[in-house]
Amino acid sequence: MRRYQQGDKVTARRMIADMNVPEVPAGSVGTVVATTVLGKPKKVHFALKTAWGPKQFHVDVRRGDVD
């Protein structure tokens, strides 16, 4: 099992959608902002280009969302 640290780059394994953030398409690269006690990504920062211009936001991720 790999332990992630703040600042590590991760890739979205599937589309991530939440009510408060834009959709993150699979394959998008983000940066780990916070990890769990076990070293798994908990919150990831994404900077994406959307139809409304560039967006930067943090997303709470769950098991299997990023790799």
Q: Residue 25 sits in which domain range?
A: 9-60
| pLDDT beyond 80 at 1 | no
Residue 4 domain flag: no
Whole-prediction pTM value? 0.90
Residue 51 domain flag: yes
Number of folded domains that form the chain: 1
Cα(32)–Cα(16) distance, integer angstroms: 15
Torsion, Cα 20 16 7 58, to 10 degrees, reads: 0
Segment 14-50, tens digit of pLDDT: 999 888 888 999 999 999 999 999 999 999 999 999 8
Residue 19 domain flag: yes
- 4 or 51, higher pLDDT: 4
Segment 40-67, tens digit of pLDDT: 999 999 999 988 899 999 999 999 999 9
Looking from the CA of 52 toward its CB, the CA atoms found within 13 Å total: 4
Residue 66 domain flag: no
